[in-house]
Structure 1
Amino acid sequence: MSKIRIYELAKELNISSKELIELLSEEFSIAVKNHMSVIEEEDANLIKEFLSDKAENAEDDKNIESAVDENNDSNNKSNKNNKKSKSKNIPKDKESEEEEKIIEIDDTITVKELSEKIGKSSTEVIKQLIFMGVMAAINQEIDFSTAEKLAEKFDVIVVKKEKNIDKEISEQQEEEEIESEDNLQKRPPVVTVMGHVDHGKTSLLDAIRKSKVTSHEAGGITQHIGAYTVTINGEKITFLDTPGHEAFTAMRARGAQITDIVILVVAADDGIMPQTEEAINHCKAANVPIVVAINKIDRPGANIDKVKQELTEYGLVPEDWGGDIICVPVSAHTKEGIDTLLEMVLLTAEVQEFKANSNRNARGAVIEAKLDKGRGAVATLLVQNGTLNVGDSIIVGTTYGRIRAMFDDKGKKIKSAGPSIPVEILGLSEVPQAGDKFNEVKDEKTARELADGRKQKVREEYLQSTHKVSLEDLYNQIKEGKVKELNIIVKADVQGSIEALKQSLQKLSTDEVKVRVIHGAVGAITETDISLASASNAIIIGFNVRPDVNAEKAAEREAVDMKTYRVIYTAIDDIKAAMLGMLEPDYKENVIGKAEIRRTYKISSIGTIAGCYVLDGKITRNSSVRIIRDGIVVFESELASLKRFKDDVKEVAQGYECGLSIEKFNDIKEGDIVEAYVMEEIKKKEL
């Protein structure tokens, strides 16, 4: 049920907060502390009804009084005086409006500004502050609570100024969604090229750029700003020159869905490789249409049909095979098929109907940004809606600025840019992050206020607990309706384990929550996996694999839940239990240190001894250990011995060398990582 503050209701009823508080106490037996207290809307309606009836009765009394007045003039004065005293609380008393003043302030205010707002001299205000025990000079700032207490002494109500700029921006975007078709115009599609390393992504982009961009430039030099626009058959296409799916997903994790179409490059002589599969999964998670460019068709071992066959295994069925995926054979080397590829991109764009309104405030996203020694903060922006002009004030994530200069993808100075056009701008206060959204606002002051508010909000969110999905809290999030789909990323030591886990996990779907395995691959858990999990709010399950150092740091930073298992059924049981709210984490694994094996020694009576260097944390004699080779767990056991030189020791700290042997395991190799861990019992919380 909605609530209303006392001062707001008093303003609506045209009476003072003091009178309203007395009325609540006397007539309704509702005790409230002050003007900032809240009451239920139901009670507020009763008060309105009560005062309305009272006003009507007063009007009736007045009419009776007039009639009596005509017959008996002598009693007129006494009747009027009685009525005045009875009508003290009628909501027509203008005196109350004068005696009570409401002012809006920010979180802090200077003594001088406050004295001006409440209409008192700064000497009087400072005097009252001294009585309150606050020593403040005329230009010193005081906080909101101090200002509120001080204002009460002068019969003034202080309320916090509502910053509705963010709200205005979100309302503006809502308007865009329901915008009239008459205002919308066709805009160029924004395209990202993805695929496996060495399959010709860069060569293809270079071939497109040289044939469609560079030939029109003086001296054939292209100004690199991370994006460029090409023209084919009178239609424009904007290409994002990003370094693959990691950047694509990092942008999506920041809420910037800027790519309209993805060109997936697959080599005709190589077929689908691990990074190709990753790119497909990233595109599917983002729900972006794919056009497949089968590159290197000029190579001797090229087999287009084999590539098409492999694509069907990932749910991408080519058009000529009865599906809806456009496949174009191309050669970046001979330029064959490039025009056809671009025509197919335009055809896909036509089907998708990408439109925007250029006659409104600009909004979009940051493609890339850097700090230039001579020019300061430089950012490449992609305008997604509206028109951006030189001189406009913009808010970009937690930074702001006024556009001093704007350049197109050829390095030419321009004054304005419409939808789907990439531009490089100067004039921001700080360097923004790639993927940050930007919005045009009315002036620089507004932009600065909003940026400060966002910075504060980021700090608060960082201090508060994250809302990312985790197995421990999964049941609560399902019940609260926060989770409708449980996205899972599976990493394992062999392909067979991935398939088995995928099928078993997807069978756990219920009416309340659908389990989706959005990505599965062989190898260690990497930073790319963390990026995808963060963007898709997914849980990572590792089977016989471990995260690398960068992945661990990224998981901690992005609050991504990672679980590693040695037994496939334990993983399935844990997720099933989490969905039913029965997961009981009795024990938690705590990794205490890592050591790298630098040298191995074979001793006939003992076995293999490893000469190690402790990279992180510490290795203790009583810890459990696992041997990790190329990110994959090859064995788990206990330490048989731990030595420094010839002495047995209890522990060896980071930065020191040691010798160790592992219980029942001699297949140690140089470069292996020894990870030491202990299992900690989690005490049950008492109810």
Structure 2
Amino acid sequence: MTMRELASRLQQTESAVQSILSDLGESCESGDEALAFDASELVALEFGAQVKRVDAEVKKDDPQKEVIPLRPPVITVMGHVDHGKTSLLDALRKSSVAAGEAGGITQHLGAFVVKMSSGASLTFLDTPGHAAFSAMRARGAAVTDIVVLVVAADDGVKPQTLEALSHAQEAKVPIVVAINKCDKEDADPARVRQQLIMHSVELEEIGGDVQVVEVSAKQSTGLNKLEEALLLMSEMMDLRARTDGDAHGVVIEARLDRGQGPLATVIVRSGTLKQGAIVVVGHQWGRVRCLRDMAGAIVKSAGPATPVEVSGLRGAPLAGDSLNVLQSEDRAKKLAEKRQLIMEHDRLQKRNLKAAAATPATPAAEDEGTDQAPKAVNMPLVVKADVQGTLEAVLEALESLNNEQVSVSIVHSGIGPVSEADFLLAEACQGCLIAFTVKCLPSVEAMARRAKIPLVHHRVIYHLLEEVGKLIIERAPGTSETRIAGQAEVLAIFEIKGKGRAGVGAAKIAGCRVFEGRLLKGQRVKVLRSGTELFDGKLSSLKREKLDVDTVGKGTECGLIVNEWMEFSVGDVVQCIEEYKRLPTFVSSDGKARIEC
């Protein structure tokens, strides 16, 4: 972008833009002079503009297209939970990743290069199928060229199948459907095809362009046909990328390693990423110390569509961040710091908006005295996870547990093991420690036990949400409600002198038999006659065989006195009304969890 164009987009004068460029050490004498992207971004951020880098695609009519090399396609595997996505990749790459996943489900977004039998290379992204990881699936669709939509032949199209389909369609990515588990007795591929057609998926057999391949990951059948379909799609798309020049990539995953520090899994989109390059990744920067391929081997460089693990960053970036190569450490540091300030500002704004939305409105004067809903209590959480993408998904899932009675607030989140600092923060706010697929030091566990700070430690998100849900329910104030504790029928009326109102006159004892539940002394009672309510008041006295008692159960005869009511008749029904607190309930359906009040 030229300085003149940048000034126009920012609605600023060229002199104002040039002034900031001078402060950055950039000499720009002509308005038609092209600026480096990092200089343009720093100027834009200075004026408060939002910046998004867009890759320059190789156009079909580019005269130099033929000299730009072809690149492997990036293929994302999507679908409903437990439909065999990871098992299908295992069969393709002859490995066993699925066996190592906690609970048998994929909870990280992995990138793999698979050498096909034809000699071609395909880059696969394996995305989680659990509903809580929808953000990770969306990110996978944003960097991919082809989506393989896996549908189990015995289970058919499910909610997360449609969610994955929606992500692919929004990203305008072509789809290849793999109907898996075709070896099972109850497999029905024809039903799956019909369901897809009903959801507007244009299959080839009805004149569309979506290929369908029947496979069995368990029996390794149909894999050659799937390979042919993917290679055909890749050839039709004519995917190309420049290998020369500075690299641009996208972070798929980030984590903290005890020995190597922050690590980021990156897919290179264009150019070549080399060891020693100065990079800015989101709000982090550093010099590439080491590049490793997905097998863990050290490599000196990585070209387009290649996934590599990058070390040397000053901190862990966010999954989905862009990686760009810069020419100086000073410029990389400035850009990262500016992005960090913008991110913190946006985060503070979101927090303030959320707090404002959670604050209940002050009741109007005419509403005073009416029953009010219980005030929501706060549930502070300190959340740690092993990798950035998983952390985002866990935070999203935990925030979905917010309800009218308990407000879930994330006071701190990060990647890496649970530390003493995390415990001290949880103790200070009387919150809860969440450790998802990360270690927790024995000393921290001991401190949490002594301080009675809940520590939720799980490797499967279903179990994590269930336990946190129980903690939320324990803190919930509940809703005050009434129910019929018991009912009794009046069999006879007895009058006792000197026991009436204010201790004078006479009182009437209703001789009753409890036919449902129990009667409780001091509780509210209603007197019904032929279904019509005659009285609503307090049960003054309850007797059993001339002895005062506090409760009488079903099938028992008793005598009761209601000071404010003396007009009992045989056949009346006395209902005992009991107040109680109804607590929320934890509900999990279609892979999604929530708290219902």
TM-score in terms of structure 2 length: 0.52
Contact kept? 1:530, 1:554, Cα under 8 Å: no
Find 2:401's aligned residue among 548, 556, 559. 548
* One-letter identity of the residue aligned with 1:201: K
1:343 to partner: Cα distance: 1.7
Is the Cα–Cα contact under 8 Å of residues 193 and 264 in structure 1 kept in the other structure? yes
- The alpha-carbon deviation at position 404 of structure 1 amounts to 0.8
* Cα deviation, residue 310, structure 1: 0.6
What letter corresponds to residue 145 of structure 2 in structure 1? D
Q: 1:312-331: per-residue Cα shift (whole Å, max 9, x none)?
A: 11111321232221110000
Is the 8 Å Cα contact of residues 250 and 269 (structure 2) preserved in structure 1?
Answer: yes
SS at the partner of 2:150?
Answer: strand
CA deviation string 1:123-156 (max 9, x = no partner): xxxxxxxxxxxxxxxxxxxxxxxxxxxxxxxxxx
Is the contact between residue 600 and residue 669 of structure 1 (CA under 8 Å) also seen in structure 2?
A: no
1:384 is paired with a residue of what secondary structure? strand
SS in 1 for 2:112: strand
For residues 204-250 of structure 1, what are the alpha-carbon distances to aligned partners after superposition, in whole Å with 9 as ceiling and x for unaligned? 1211121799xxxxxxxxxx992111122121110113324768753
Contact 1:363 1:437 in 2 (8 A): yes
Name which of 387, 391, 399 aligns with 2:284.
399
Among 200, 225, 249, the residue aligned to 1:364: 249
In structure 1, the partner of 2:214 is 329
CA contact (8 A) 2:109 2:136 kept: no
Q: Which amino acid aligns with 1:409?
A: M
Over residues 647-681 of structure 1, what are the superposed CA-to-partner deviations in whole Å (9 max), with x where a residue is unaligned?
xxxxxxxxxxx95378xxxxx997699977xxxxx
Matched residue of 1:355: which SS?
coil
Pairing partner for 2:90 from 184, 202, 206: 206
Matches of 2:16 and 2:294 in 1, distance apart?
53
CA contact (8 A) 1:401 1:428 kept: yes
In the alignment, is the contact (CA less than 8 A) between 1:596 and 1:674 conserved in 2?
Answer: no
Equivalent residue for 2:173, pick from 285, 288, 292: 288
In structure 2, C-alpha distance between the alignment counterparts of 1:199 and 1:8, rounded to whole Å: 57
Give the C-alpha shift of residue 361 in structure 1.
Answer: 0.9
Task: Map 1:178-193 to 2 at 5 A.
Answer: 180-182=64-66, 184-193=68-77
> CA offsets per residue over residues 161-184 of structure 1, 9 Å max, x none?
x97252699898565566752553
Q: What is the aligned partner in structure 2 of residue 297 from structure 1? A: 182
CA distance in 1, matches of 2:271, 2:113: 18
Pick closer, same or farther for the CA change 1:167–1:409 going to 2, 3 Å: same
The DSSP-based 3-state class of the residue aligned with 2:135 is: helix
CA spacing shift, 1:3–1:321, aligned 2, 3 Å: closer
Please identify which structure carries the higher helix content.
1
The alignment status of 1:230 with 2:105, answered yes or no, reads no
3-state DSSP class of the match of 1:400?
Answer: strand
Q: Secondary structure at the match of 1:369?
A: strand
Alignment of 1:576-591 (within 5 A): none
* Cα-to-partner distance string for 1:548-578 (whole Å, 9 max, x where unaligned): 3399869999xxxxxxxxxxxxxxxxxxxxx
1:166 matches 2:41: yes
1:660 aligns with 2:580: yes
Displacement of 1:421 in angstroms is 0.2
1:396 & 1:281 partners in 2: Cα distance? Answer: 28
Three-state SS of the structure 1 residue aligned to 2:299 is: coil
**Equivalent pair of 1:256/1:435 in contact (CA under 8 Å):** no
C-alpha separation between the residues in 1 aligned to 2:22 and 2:71? 43
Residue type matched to 1:372 in 2? D
From 320, 330, 341, give the equivalent of 1:445.
330
Instruction: State how far apart, in whole Å, the 1-side matches of 2:167 and 2:189 are.
Output: 23
Structure 2: which 5+ runs fail to align?
1-7, 26-36, 45-50, 98-107, 358-391, 413-474, 489-515, 519-536, 539-549, 551-577, 588-593
* TM-score, normalising length: structure 1: 0.45
Map 1:134-153 onto structure 2 (within 5 A): none
Query: Aligned partners of 1:669, 1:362: CA distance in 2, in Å?
Result: 52
**Letter in structure 1 aligned against 2:233:** T
Which amino acid letter does the alignment assign opposite residue 401 of structure 2?
D
**Aligned partners of 2:134 and 2:579: how far apart in 1?**
43
Q: Which amino acid aligns with 1:190?
A: V
Q: Secondary structure of 2:227's match?
A: helix
Give the 5 Å matches for 1:596-675: 603-605=485-487, 660=580
Instruction: Report what 2:300 is aligned to.
Output: 415
Distance 2:314 2:166 in 1: 37
Between 1 and 2, higher relative CO (CA 8 Å, sep ≥ 6) is seen in 2
Deviations 1:333-374 (A, max 9, x none): 110011211221121122222221111210111111111111
Within 5 Å, give how 1:108-127 maps onto structure 2.
none
1:381 aligns with 2:266: yes
CA contact (8 A) 2:476 2:584 kept: no
CA distance in 1, matches of 2:403, 2:286: 34
Quick check: 1:434 aligned with 2:319?
Answer: yes
In structure 2, the residue matched to 1:343 is 228
Structure 1 unmatched ranges of 5 or more: 12-35, 37-101, 108-161, 214-223, 473-526, 533-545, 558-592, 610-639, 647-657, 663-667, 677-687
8 A Cα contact 2:291 2:299, kept in partner: yes
Query: Residues 209 and 661 from structure 1, CA distance in 2 versus in 1: closer, same or farther, beyond 3 angstroms?
Result: same
Cα deviation digits, residues 512-563 of structure 1 (max 9, x gap): xxxxxxxxxxxxxxx989979xxxxxxxxxxxxx963399869999xxxxxx
Structure 1 residue 460: Cα displacement: 3.3
Cα gap change, 1:4 to 1:302, in 2 (>3 Å)? closer
8 Å CA contact 2:242, 2:271 repeated in 1: yes
SS class of match (1:426): strand
Deviating above 3 A after TM superposition, structure 1's stretches of 4 or more consecutive aligned residues are 1-5, 102-107, 167-180, 244-249, 251-256, 460-466, 527-532, 550-557, 593-602, 605-609, 668-676
Residue 359 of structure 1 aligns to a residue whose secondary structure is: coil
Residues 13-48 of structure 1: CA deviation (Å, up to 9, x unaligned): xxxxxxxxxxxxxxxxxxxxxxx9xxxxxxxxxxxx
Structure 2 residue aligned with 1:590:
none
Aligned residues: 366
Distance (whole Å) between structure 1 residues aligned to residue 131 and residue 581 of structure 2: 39
1:263 aligns with 2:145: no
**What code does the residue aligned with 2:226 have?**
L
In structure 2, what is the Cα distance between the partners aligned to 1:256 and 1:452?
29
1:557-600 CA-to-partner distances (Å, cap 9, x unmatched) read 9xxxxxxxxxxxxxxxxxxxxxxxxxxxxxxxxxxx95569999
**1:330/1:554 Cα in 2 relative to 1: closer, same or farther (>3 Å)?**
farther
Counterpart of 2:198?
313
For 2:533, the equivalent position in structure 1 comes to none
Return the letter of the residue paired with 1:549: N
What do you get for the CA RMSD once the two structures are aligned?
5.0
**TM-superposition CA deviations, 1:42-88 (whole Å, max 9, x none):** xxxxxxxxxxxxxxxxxxxxxxxxxxxxxxxxxxxxxxxxxxxxxxx
User: Matched residues in 2 for 1:262 and 1:318: separation?
Assistant: 14
Q: Does the CA-based 8 Å contact 1:252-1:435 persist in structure 2?
A: no
Cα distance change of structure 1 residues 397 and 270 upon mapping to structure 2, 3 Å threshold: same
For residue 263 of structure 2, give the secondary structure of its aligned residue in structure 1. Answer: strand
User: Is 1:403–1:428's contact at 8 Å kept on the other side of the alignment?
Assistant: yes
What one-letter code is carried by the residue in structure 2 that aligns with 1:360?
Answer: G
Tell me the distance in 2 between the aligned counterparts of 1:225 and 1:674.
28
Name the CA distance, whole Å, in 1 between partners of 2:346 and 2:210.
Answer: 41
